[in-house]
Each structure stands twice: as structure tokens, then as C-alpha cells.
Amino acid sequence: MKLTDPLTVIAPDGSTPGHDPKLSDDELVYCYRTMLRVRAFDDTCMKLQRSGRIGFSIPNRGIEATQVGAASALRKTDWLFPSYRDFGMALYHGITSLEMMNNMYGNAADTSKGRQMPVHFGFTDPIKWVSISSPIGTHIPQAVGAAYAMQYRGEDHVALASFGDGGTSSLGFHSGLNFAGVWKAPVVFLCQNNGWAISCPSEKQTASQGYAIKGRAYGVPGIVVDGNDLLAVRQAMLEAVDRARTGGGPTIIEAVTFRMGGHSTSDDPTKYVPKEELEAWAAKDPVARFERYLEGRGLWTKEHAEAMYAEAMEEIGAAARKAEDTPAPGLETIFSDVFEEVPEHLRKQGQAAFDLASRKGDAAGGGGEFPL
Amino acid sequence: MANMTLIQAVNDGLKTAMRTDESVLVFGEDVGPKGGVFLATEGLTSEFGERRCFDTPLSEDGIVGTAVGMAINGLKPVAEIQFQDFIFPAFDQIVSEAAKFRYRSGGLYTVPMVIRTPYGGGIRGGLYHSQSGEAYFCHTPGLKVVIPSNPHDAKGLLLASIADPDPVLFLEPKALYRAVKGEVPDGHYTVDLSTLRTAREGSDVTVFCYGAMVPVCMQAAERAAELGIEAQIMDLRTLMPLDEEGVLEAAKRTGRVVVVHEAPRFCGYGAEISALIAEHAIEYMEAPVARVTGFDTPFPNTLEHHYLPDDRRVLDAIEHVHNY
């Protein structure tokens, strides 16, 4: 097999001859349900953004199998350094739709206290979901550092750094892989090759034969998997995670998949993604693929699936309503958490902002439409 | 108590921190067996082993990026950037990551780490071994910026920085590494961050300075004294967060202020001190604030002694504000 031939487990007809997913029936259905919840979350956010109730979201359609397959290989003691397009990993590990919606609205219950844009989640419970920043690739060496700390303390934990194909061009990708290779750090690099970095196709990103191969020069073994095949992603992840836990060092996994939506809710992909490409990938839908697999095992019916999706829409709609009803953070949150203690100059600036508000009234809320 | 150079005090501070806390790690380019290009980390690998003091690949982004990851996961990294001039590949990690983690995560993730790096001129290092980039970093909310000027403060401020819950950029005046000696207490002690030091009492003119400019200003003050002008020399020590009250108090005491730094003038740290005084103490001022700084040029090599503020230039400014 060439390095660039993707590992596949689920055949187009849903069969997996001789494969053991190492998941119970309930766990398999849980994986499927998580993918449906991602879809429901996406569908809800699109409506919320179109009706002006939230400013921005990131569509996950097409990537669900990569997200859930990867997440299923991790324990709660592992650390996630996610990208912004990883909703399925959050939902899989029990981060609630309400916690995510609080961030979408930037309300007082948002863990980032309304400071971050939507989808820039940060959680510590029930799993370490390291706060996301917008610059691309900066989290990759951080995952390696966190992994070094695990190794230093003799823990068998793993750090997962997840990023897109565009992320492989970033400074952090190269320093991260290089350091991880030298340190044999317990880290897994998951490159979600979804074909497009905003409007930039892979051939403009790299002249390399794919992305997993980029690990080779850093001494980091690489594997390409079919990213629309949940069980293939899971298998590659299980092997990589096991290697990391047992002192074997880092792995790079390239999950070949496709972003079926825009880069964000503000982006119109029909302007640059060829129609034929989109249609070809629509036929390889990861949720439908897993449905055929479950059906073959007697774990799927259309009615059950529809009921699960309807239930998810209801749950997520309720979360959105609750998040919308939660007030905005207080003015004081602008000035806290810059440092552990509020220094004198910030205390004065905060006091001045309060004084001004009492003399001249609150600042008018701006509209502000995010362009990207 | 021992008599030490500034670089020995840094070394002693690192050893003290590593002896008291196993989570303190020291790493960077050539910091391992070689002990760093200035020998700040000499003896650390042999005493603490390669897991706690080690060489890294030649990548400032990787050094700081991995340090951030260690810090959010419970370690206390003390990363070295070989020269401050080389820090810019790590600018994103410092400015967008280390400085913003606490804020953006609502306090869930914090980055208690120190980045040590030698800054400033005086070693004939030309454009890329001489710069003073403190202003770039002081402009970044969430980052502390500390600059010692003597061995006692170097160790005490370094230990305070390592104990601090927030990221600290610790800029070491390389021109002073071996040029100053002083008494340094044994064992663990700290010098509080955000506190000023009165390096010299004087009632006629107040001079604000830090790092390698402190001895220069002390020299200028001695020459001013010969002319009958008593200059008060204030060593700022922590540039961010600054003890603003302390600065204003010192400025008001004389009503005549000189600010000295070797970094370029435009948007330099002196502009902030000057603005602070203009906003809050203008009615106490007997003369406009004078700035003595590097020029708004890249840092020259052969003529660096013309670029760097020296006692002549500081004395000239002291006389100017005194006679205004």
C-alpha cells in the first residue's frame, strides 16, 4: 500500500468483513447519535445565524466521522487541542449543547465570559478541551508541550492536536512535529484534510503527496485514512494513541474528507468549490456510510434515526433558547482574567468605564457583521 | 550572601527555583551541557538531569509554543531565547497565546511561565544581537515584562517571576552580565514585581531608567552632582504592570523628569512614562519631560557607542530639564 492510499474499514455497502470495532452495540449507536447531534447543532446554528441571533458558526457537515471516530479513541484523562471544526469531539465527550450554545451567544454563562467569538470553545470538564484561538497552528506545539508534561510525570495520557489541511502550512505544524519527533512526545496529530482552507484548494496549499507524508522527515510515522469512514479513523487513532501511551511517540494521521458546507456561516462555497466535486463527495456522506454499517448489524432503522435527529433538534433548540435568555456578561469581565490579580492600572480603567456608564449611559451595542 | 555577577545571579536563581520545585524546567537553544551562550544555565543539566534542563531544536516558535503547552498542563517552564532579537518567530505564541490564555478561557487555562532572554546593546552585536524590544511586549495585555539591573534584583525578580501565576518576559541586560557585581543572598528570596527601586536619592531631577541604562544614569548623576545638580535615579524593574503611583510620586518630588532607554524613541517605553506624567502630574512639572533613547534607526554595529545613551547624553538631558 502506498503511503497515500487511505485506510478503509467500511465498504460502500456498509460491510466490514472481519473487522472488530472494539465498541459495543450501544457505543456504536452512541457514535451515530453523536453525528446526528452535530448535524442538528449545525442546522440550528445556521438558522440562528441567518436570523441574526448569533453572529457566526462553523459548519461541520461532511467531517462528522473524522471527529467522532477520533474522539472515540480518547479517554477522559487525555487532552484535546481541537480546531474550530470539531463539534463532534466535544459532543462525543459529554460537553453539553448548552455549554456550546452559551459560547455561540457569548453570554454570562459562556466559559470564556463572552470574550471569544462563537465556536472558540474552552472546557476542562469532562475532558480537557483546550481553549481555541483563531491563529492557525499555534496549538500544535502547545499539544507537544502538554504531552511532554504527561511524559515528564510518567502519565499514560495523550494529547491530540487537530487541524485542517491549511494548518500544515503554519509555523506551528513544523515546529510541533519537529519537537514531538525529537522528544518522542505522546501526541497524535490529526490532519483533517477536508480539501479546502477557506477558498484555497489543496494544490495551492502544498506540492507534497498529501499531508501524512510530511511526518516522515520529522521521524513521525504517518497514516492516511478515509475520513468519511468512522471505523477507519477510529482504528488509526487507536493505534496512534496506543503508540503514544506506551512510549512509542507521536503519529500523524491524515483523514481525507470533505467540507460539505462553507468555511463558516458567512462563507459561500458555491463561488469556488466546483459543483462536480461537491456532488462526488455528497455521494460519500459519512453519516450515510455509517448508517449502512449499522443497518447491516441490525442497529439502524429510518424511523429510529429520524426520532434521534428530532430529539437532538429539540434538545439543541432548547439549549439555544436558554442561552439566548441568559444575559450578557457584566462590564467588569472586560477587566478580569487579564492577570490573576487585577493590576492597579486596569482597576482604574474599569472604574472609569463604570463611572462613564453612570454619567453618560451604556455604550450602544454595535451591529458588526463578521466577513469570513 | 555571596558576591556575584548578574549572570551568576541568574544562574543561582535558576538553580534555587529548580531545587525547590520539581515542576520547574529550563530549556532553549544550547542551554543544556554547554550551559547557554552566556553560561546562564551552566551546571543545570549536570545537577538536574536532561529531563529538566535541555537543548531544544533551533526554533523559537517551538520553544515558546511547547512551553505554553507545558504551563497549561502543570509545569513551570523557564524558556530561554538566546537573544531577544530572535524572539520574533515566537511573537505569535507570546502575544496571541501565552498572554491571552487566561482571558480567553475565562481562567480555565493559565500560563505560568517565564521567557528569559538577553536584550540590549554593548557587545558589538550589530542589528541582530543588540535590540531592546520591550515596548512590543509591554503593549500586550496579559504579559508581564521585567528587567533587572543588578545581581540582587536579577535573582529576586527571577524567582518572583517563576512563582508568578502569569507569563513573564524576563529581559536580561546582557551588557551588564559581567559588568556589575554585587551581594546576593543565599537561597530563596523574591523581589516583588511592580515595585520601583530608588537607585539614588536626589531632589533636583528625577531620572527613570531600567536594565543596562541604570549604571549609565548613575554615572551621569555623579557628574551632575559635580555641577551641583542632585538627580534621583529610579530603576523601574517591572515595566508591565508598572507601579504608576510610584512613578508619579517620584516625578512630583522634583518636577523635572528625564526618561532613559536604549530602545528607539518612537512609541518607546519613555513615551508611556511621559504621557502618564502629562496626564496626572502636569501641574507639578517645572520642565517638559526629556527623553534620552536610542535613535529611530536599526541598531548599528561599529558606531553602537553613538547609538546607545551614555552618561554624556543623560547628563545633557539632566542639565536641560534642570535649567529649563
If asked whether residues A279 and A351 sit together in one domain, one would say: no
Q: Spell out which residues of chain B touch residue A122, defining contact as CB-CB under 8 Å.
A: 104-106, 108-109
Who's near B193: CB < 8 A, 6+ residues apart?
A: B144, B146, B157, B160, B161, B164, B168, B237, B238, B241
If asked whether residues A67 and A84 sit together in one domain, one would say: yes
Residue pair B53/B27 in contact (Cβ under 8 Å)? The answer is yes
State the sign of the Cα–Cα–Cα–Cα dihedral A127, A132, A136, A142. Answer: negative
Domain CATH for A111: 3.40.50.970
Minimal CA separation from B185 to chain A, in Å: 28
Q: Spell out which residues of chain B touch residue A345, defining contact as CB-CB under 8 Å.
A: 241-242, 244
Kind and range of the H or E element at B205? strand B205-209
Residue A132 to residue B125: CA distance in whole angstroms: 39
CB contact under 8 A, B57 and A150: no
**Least confident among A11-15, A76-80, B36-40, B271-275:** A11-15
Residue A4: inside a domain: no
- Pick from B45, B34, B113: nearest CA to B73: B113
If asked whether residues A216 and A346 sit together in one domain, one would say: no
Query: Boundaries of CATH 3.40.50.970 in chain B?
Result: 2-184
Is A219 near chain B, with CB under 8 Å?
no
Superfamily the domain B2-184 falls into: Thiamin diphosphate (ThDP)-binding fold, Pyr/PP domains (3.40.50.970)
| Nearest-Cα residue of chain B relative to residue A150 | B73
Residue A337: inside a domain: yes
If asked whether residues A226 and A339 sit together in one domain, one would say: no
If asked whether residues A149 and A246 sit together in one domain, one would say: yes
Q: Spell out which residues of chain A touch residue B97, defining contact as CB-CB under 8 Å.
A: 133, 135, 138, 142
Helices (H), chain B: 6-20, 44-48, 60-72, 91-92, 101-104, 134-138, 151-163, 213-226, 244-254, 269-280, 304-307, 311-323
Interface test mutation site (partner B, options A163, A337, A340, max chain B beta carbons within 10 A): A337
Interface test mutation site (partner B, options A107, A125, A129, A131, max chain B beta carbons within 10 A): A131
Minimal CA separation from B71 to chain A, in Å: 8
Phi, psi for residue B71 in degrees, rounded to 5 = -65, -40
- For domain B197-323, which CATH number applies: 3.40.710.10, 1.10.1040.10, 3.30.70.260, 3.40.50.920? 3.40.50.920
Q: Spell out which residues of chain B touch residue A338, defining contact as CB-CB under 8 Å.
A: 102-103, 141-142
- Of how many residues is chain A composed? 372
Residue A18: inside a domain: no
Query: Boundaries of CATH 3.40.50.920 in chain B?
Result: 197-323
Residue B30 to residue A8: CA distance in whole angstroms: 45
Interhelix angle A171-183/B60-72, nearest 10 degrees: 70
Mean pLDDT of B272-301: 98
Is residue A263 flagged as an active site residue?
A: yes
CB contact under 8 A, A175 and B241: no
Residue A14: inside a domain: no
Q: Residue B34 has what pLDDT? A: 97
Q: Residue A1 has what pLDDT? A: 42
Is B7 near chain A, with CB under 8 Å?
no
Residue A88: inside a domain: yes
Of chain B, the percentage scoring pLDDT greater than 90 comes to 100
What's the total number of domains in chain A?
Answer: 2
- Pick from B217, B140, B205: nearest CA to B173: B217
Is A140 near chain B, with CB under 8 Å?
yes
Minimal CA separation from A29 to chain B, in Å: 32
Indicate the residue type of A126: P
| Nearest-Cα residue of chain A relative to residue B242 | A345
Per-residue pLDDT for chain A (372 aa), expressed as one digit of tens each?
455 689 999 998 999 999 999 999 999 999 999 999 999 999 999 999 999 999 999 999 999 999 999 999 999 999 999 999 999 999 999 999 999 999 999 999 999 999 999 999 999 999 999 999 999 999 999 999 999 999 999 999 999 999 999 999 999 999 999 999 999 999 999 999 999 999 999 999 999 999 999 999 999 999 999 999 999 999 999 999 999 999 999 999 999 999 999 999 989 999 999 999 999 999 999 999 999 999 999 999 999 999 999 999 999 999 999 999 999 999 999 999 999 999 999 999 999 999 999 999 888 876 667 776
Residue pair B135/B291 in contact (Cβ under 8 Å)? The answer is no
CB contact under 8 A, B142 and A123: no
Model confidence at B8: pLDDT above 80 = yes
If asked whether residues A311 and A338 sit together in one domain, one would say: no
Domain hosting A276: range is 25-325
Q: Spell out which residues of chain B touch residue A171, defining contact as CB-CB under 8 Å.
A: 61, 89, 92
If asked whether residues A267 and A317 sit together in one domain, one would say: yes
CB contact under 8 A, A138 and B65: yes
In the set A115, A272, A321, A347, the catalytic residue is: A272
Residue A150 to residue A159: CA distance in whole angstroms: 9
CB contact under 8 A, B72 and A138: no
In the set B129, B152, B261, B322, the catalytic residue is: B129
Which residues, listed in sequence order, are joined to residue A254 by a DSSP beta bridge? Answer: A191, A224
Ordered DSSP codes for A188-218:
EEEEEE-SEETTEEHHHH-SSS-SGGGGGGG
Is A337 near chain B, with CB under 8 Å?
yes
If asked whether residues A255 and A337 sit together in one domain, one would say: no
Kind and range of the H or E element at A362? none
Q: Residue A326 has what pLDDT? A: 98
Q: Residue A372 has what pLDDT? A: 67
Q: Spell out which residues of chain B touch residue A219, defining contact as CB-CB under 8 Å.
A: none
Per residue in B137-178, pLDDT (tens digit) is 999 999 999 999 999 999 999 999 999 999 999 999 999 999
Q: Residue B192 has what pLDDT? A: 98
Model confidence at B287: pLDDT above 60 = yes
Residue A344 to residue B265: CA distance in whole angstroms: 26
Residue A365: inside a domain: no
Minimal CA separation from B141 to chain A, in Å: 7
CB contact under 8 A, A142 and B245: no
Minimal CA separation from A297 to chain B, in Å: 42
If asked whether residues A351 and A223 sit together in one domain, one would say: no
CB contact under 8 A, A148 and B96: no
| Nearest-Cα residue of chain A relative to residue B56 | A179
| Nearest-Cα residue of chain B relative to residue A177 | B62
Q: How many CB pairs under 8 A join A and B?
A: 141
Cell of A248: 512509542
Mean pLDDT computed over every residue of chain B: 98
If asked whether residues A341 and A292 sit together in one domain, one would say: no
Omega prior to B241 cis, within 30 of 0: yes
Instruction: Kindly give the pairing relationship between strand B144-146 and strand B238-240.
Output: antiparallel
Interface test mutation site (partner A, options B52, B104, B139, max chain A beta carbons within 10 A): B104
Minimal CA separation from B144 to chain A, in Å: 9
Residue pair B35/B202 in contact (Cβ under 8 Å)? The answer is no
CB contact under 8 A, A178 and B59: yes
Q: Spell out which residues of chain B touch residue A337, defining contact as CB-CB under 8 Å.
A: 102-103, 106-107
Who's near A169: CB < 8 A, 6+ residues apart?
A: A137, A197, A205, A206
Is B195 near chain A, with CB under 8 Å?
no
Is residue A152 flagged as an active site residue?
A: no
